[in-house]
């Protein structure tokens, strides 16, 4: 584990550092699949997959938030009808069930759009495999936990979560869901994931698709 004030120039640099750590822990990861959580996680995961010569796929997950405060995660939605709520803020939706249902419906449509656009893995292709789940960082952990619960239901042989940075308070709940947690930094006072990157630009659909196509082409050579 590197210093807790770790700082990377961008997501690609973090991906290379994460790949190096994974290679130390697993010198022969043959048979594993790198599963990226879109969108930002795809940039990190692409570097991991390329460095370790592993196939790359995506597994979409959506944050649930109030329309007026989209930056505050109140819950998360993942394939398989997995819905998690933050126990400290769930009352905001519980007091307004119509709004809650509207948010779930809207984010469910966006989740399905991304799954189809990115070509998320067929569940049967992940069954019995070691899955290395990669994101660009974890603050509350709601979205990642929802994704891990969703992936657990597929019956993987082993579930590994690999991220450059995660808030220390999120780790106990994450460790309960995986066989292994690989981290480069775990600050006590993580304010925002982006503060650990020199550049943390938004990632759009076009960049995700370009990275997936590039890795697919590399895998066939």
- Kindly tell me if the per-residue pLDDT of 92 is higher than 80: no
What's residue 153's pLDDT? 97
Contacts of 85 (CB under 8 A, 6+ apart): 64, 74, 75, 93
Among the residue ranges 128-132, 149-153, 190-194, 198-202, the one predicted with the least confidence is: 190-194
Q: What is the pLDDT of residues 5-47, one digit of tens each?
A: 458 999 999 999 999 999 999 989 989 999 999 999 999 999 9
From the list 27, 38, 84, 93, the residue with the least C-alpha distance to 61 is 38
Q: What is the pLDDT of residues 94-106, one digit of tens each?
A: 788 888 899 999 9
What's residue 136's pLDDT? 97
CB 71: neighbour CB atoms within 10 A? 8
Contact 93, 100 (CB under 8 A): yes
Whole-number mean pLDDT of the chain? 92
60: phi then psi, degrees, rounded to nearest 5:
-75, 150
CA dihedral 55, 14, 70, 142 (to 10 degrees): 70
- Kindly tell me if the per-residue pLDDT of 108 is higher than 90: yes
Identify the residue with better confidence: 17 or 90. 17
From the list 77, 74, 12, 3, the residue with the least C-alpha distance to 207 is 12
End-to-end, the C-alpha distance of the chain in Å comes to 33
Instruction: Supply the angle between the helices 205-219 and 97-118 in degrees, to the nearest 10.
Output: 40
- Kindly tell me if the per-residue pLDDT of 131 is higher than 80: yes
Full-model pTM = 0.93
| Strands of 62-64's sheet in order across | 62-64, 75-78, 82-85
Q: What is the pLDDT of residues 41-86, one digit of tens each?
A: 999 999 999 999 999 999 999 999 877 777 778 899 999 999 999 8
The mean per-residue pLDDT over the stretch 172-188 comes to 95
Most trustworthy range by pLDDT among 68-77, 85-94, 115-124? 115-124
Q: How far apart are CA 3 and CA 183, in angstroms?
A: 11
Contact 184, 165 (CB under 8 A): yes
Contact 160, 149 (CB under 8 A): no
């Amino acid at each position: 584990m590197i210093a807790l004030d770790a700082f990377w120039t961008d997501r690609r640099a973090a991906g290379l550092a994460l790949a190096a750590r994974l290679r130390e822990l697993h010198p022969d990861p043959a048979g594993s699949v790198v599963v990226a959580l879109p969108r930002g996680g795809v940039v990190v995961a692409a570097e991991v997959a390329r460095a370790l010569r592993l196939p790359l796929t995506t597994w979409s997950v959506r944050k649930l938030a109030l329309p007026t405060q989209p930056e505050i995660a109140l819950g998360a939605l993942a394939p398989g009808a997995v819905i998690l709520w933050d126990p400290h803020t769930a009352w905001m939706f519980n007091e307004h069930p119509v709004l809650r249902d509207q948010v779930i419906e809207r984010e469910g449509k966006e989740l399905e759009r991304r799954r189809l656009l990115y070509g998320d893995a067929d569940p049967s292709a992940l069954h019995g495999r070691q899955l290395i789940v990669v994101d660009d960082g974890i603050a509350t952990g709601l979205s990642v936990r929802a994704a891990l619960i969703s992936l657990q239901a597929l019956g993987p042989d082993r579930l590994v979560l690999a991220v450059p940075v995660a808030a220390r308070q999120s780790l106990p709940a994450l460790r309960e869901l995986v066989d292994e947690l690989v981290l480069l930094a775990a600050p006590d006072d993580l304010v925002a994931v982006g503060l650990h990157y020199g550049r943390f630009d938004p990632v759009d659909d076009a960049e995700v698709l370009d990275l997936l196509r590039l890795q697919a082409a590399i895998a066939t050579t």
